A and B are shown apart, each in its own frame.
Chain A
């Protein structure tokens, strides 16, 4: 047991996991851990996995921290922190050979754990003894402090990694603010004792994953530790969204709760009776000229199709967020999937223009949330944004969003058409659906004198009255669909798709949404460790589909491979539909667990060397 001699022997990255029954503070302990690592200057990626259950079922949280920015997790972990026995039983085999297990010796016998690498370090932590000591010091009952087991597990982990106690204290101060500030001192009692317990075991020197101090820590206040749901919420606030309607559904509800928690912005958050009400309430509000959005997940989105069609034919700028989760039906309610793409692109019967955006990380969540309202107003059509559960519930440390250069675009709005005191003129009719060259008709809102018009789910005339006249039908349908061409021309290309990595590469991955993080993280690993060059075509705008640009990149690729979290390769299907190009090779995952960096690296190597056409990934509990 010798301490590492030089900084070189210390690690610059850790992969930590904590687990436990839902409701025992797994989530908050992972938050504390991530925050402490962030305070220590590290970049963070956190993955949250939980059952569709309130209390009791197994949940866990993975935190990866690195000297440089990180956007995904890797599979083998180096430290598993447990305070009950199930987590050790489920995850012990996921430890690296030189990893470590923190456990409660009263509940867990490491010798009886299946798959625990024999060489892994074993760290018994006497949770009950520590809690008893805290109880005695504060003169309270030990029962009061059982909940602190997770803080002890976090602190023992940080002590083993070699993170200074001051970072934990600062992280606690960040978590417990205002009325809860007094909890910092109490928690520090537990932190102290956990550090002492690890010190007493005298094993730190033999832990291969002790970490080096971050040599170039990013400036304080320049970074946020954020999840995708909040990133979307902030983008909506910045865009001036004033009404958010929703019906409770996982994981979309996280965004709604976040926003309802910030009444200072004046956003009216309405919990509706169902998703039909949510989308139609949003439609009703949007017709008055206000910026409005509704948020849901797969099953709720299915219910919204009718209202989306109404918005389509009436050119209502409504913004819909569909946080994808495992389907079909209620599927895997708390797990991630990217399987709503074709449903979303084709949502609603009949034909109408839709704008569909798929953000791939926190920053894209913020940008797309902001832009979605501009596009909705500019093209007067529903805009559907499809993040996924992995982004919504994933945690990442990221630079503070860049708010510079953001502009509000309300599209074409005209004022009153006559003097309100001129009574007769004030009930003059307004061609709300005027046939125009680019398909966009200048809007007015109810309340505007001299501009009365109608909306109807039926085909309609320029003022909005029902018609079945074939000539008007043709002109009106063409007019609406022209807006798609306009949007395709106007939306900046770098918001439509992006090629990451070298222009020429051995293999080109084609993907969308949250797989972006794992692919980008895998790119340098493939190059440095396996000698494989890879680039990544990230498609972000799904409708109107950037067919020409995507086709050009795929045609130039040595080996194009689609990578998605679904069974069919839905983006590959969309590409085939829009470009005629078939992607023969697919790497797919549909266990409901997001794709890891490790899986990308292995799968890419397999496809490249064995020309496997369909690789199905399965790692993760």
Chain B
């Protein structure tokens, strides 16, 4: 939620910080950060009202490269930070960024429970199947049996399915995009930020250094499907898929959309579908808090006064005392 938008869009270059990214040449991370800068600029987001938080790893550095308030947090912990910041100050547009190891590995518990809470924030996962900054170990999204060049032995762990997990945990916006499809990625990030609730954007992102299986060439090539040549990466919407729940009160529609999303998520084919797998509008954590703490209906936690101009505390403990007076 943004209280006041800028009168005119920024140039994306204004959202580039003066810190030069130290990612490897050809890294998909460049594409993701560029798309994020373009998305924010176009949306006329005041840079000082955006809080970009990241975890650890290559993706963890992304917060330094965008000219908004940034926090480069701990490995796997970006979601708790982001949730704390958003609940404290709902006026901030909070965007969390992290890698697949960060989010689905060490941060898996936070990933699960963030879905249950439906806090209004955007979580962008840079998904390249490897732990780049520590020399390419397998991440939780690397398929079983795969052996990118960085692995001494083939991967014997199964890959998790992040979208099935997200759907099961209650994420209210689940979308996939691709680091080298700038237009689609920008639009998807914008949709995620406009979405009121917990939004996940999983971005396929080649690691040119360690993952020689899912490379840019791999994603860019055409494959044969039902006797026809077709791009490996395609837009699901273009093929008529619509994952957006129009009426969250309509149980039939919700069930149908959720089942369709699961089907799409588990579809076994060599292509990769981009777009919104599932979206539903549900009350956010902040909305629900107001039921329990009515005072938050008129004031955000950060705006509740607790001292006067003489710095005297104004909290009246009288009702608290009553429990104990004898």
Contact = CB atoms under 8 A, between A and B. Distances in A.
Interface string A446-458: 1111111111111
B73 A464 contact: no
A292 interface: yes
Given A403-B317, A406-B313, A465-B19, A240 B306 contact: yes
A263 interface: yes
B48 A452 contact: yes
Given A446-B85, A452-B69, A427 B301 contact: no
B243 to A, nearest CB: 27
B157 interface: no
B231 to A, nearest CB: 38
A445 B92 CA distance: 11
A283 B71 CA distance: 11
Contacts of B61: 466
A452 B64 contact: no
- Chain A interface main SS type: mixed
Contact of A288 (B77, B79, B302, B320): B302
Contacts of A234: 317, 320-321
Interface stretch (B108-116, B176-184, B276-284): B108-116
A451 B68 CA distance: 9
Contact of A407 (B69, B70, B89, B312): B312
Interface stretch (A71-79, A223-231, A349-357): A223-231
Interface in A206-246: 220-221, 223-226, 230, 233-234, 237-240, 242-243, 245
Contacts of B109: 273-274, 277
A306 B106 CA distance: 13
Contact of B85 (A174, A277, A288, A451): A288
Contacts of A288: 51, 84-85, 88-89, 92, 302
A136 to B, nearest CB: 34
Interface in B36-77: 46-49, 51, 53, 56, 61, 63-64, 67-74, 77
Contacts of A85: none
A280 to B, nearest CB: 4
A448 B302 CA distance: 13
A447 B91 contact: yes
A403 B80 CA distance: 34
Contacts, number: 229
B74 A307 contact: yes
Contact of B326 (A35, A274, A450, A465): A35
Nearest to A454: B70
Given A243-B88, A289-B302, A406-B313, A456 B72 contact: yes
Contact of A263 (B10, B80, B292, B321): B292
A292 B6 CA distance: 31
Contact of B47 (A226, A243, A427): A427
A267 B304 CA distance: 10
Given A243-B84, A292-B88, A238 B70 contact: no
Interface in A266-303: 266-268, 270, 272-274, 276-278, 280-292
Given A424-B14, A452-B48, A409 B296 contact: no
B315 interface: yes
A452 B47 contact: yes
Contact of A400 (B51, B73, B110, B321): B321
A260 B128 CA distance: 42
Interface string A74-104: 0000000000000000000000000000000
A407 B88 contact: no
B316 to A, nearest CB: 9
Contacts of B47: 426-427, 452
Given A310-B74, A458-B72, A237 B326 contact: no
A423 interface: yes
Nearest to A291: B306
B319 A240 contact: no
A14 to B, nearest CB: 17
11 contacts: A239-B306, A242-B302, A266-B304, A267-B293, A277-B77, A283-B81, A284-B71, A287-B81, A289-B302, A410-B307, A427-B67
The 4 closest A-B pairs by CB, nearest first: A240-B306, A284-B84, A284-B81, A285-B84
Interface of B: 6, 10, 14-15, 17, 19, 46-49, 51, 53, 56, 61, 63-64, 67-74, 77, 79-85, 87-89, 91-92, 109-110, 112-113, 289, 292-296, 299, 301-302, 304, 306-307, 311-313, 315, 317, 319-321, 323-326
Interface of A: 35, 38-39, 171, 174, 220-221, 223-226, 230, 233-234, 237-240, 242-243, 245, 262-268, 270, 272-274, 276-278, 280-292, 306-307, 310, 397, 400, 403, 406-410, 420, 423-424, 426-427, 445-458, 464-466
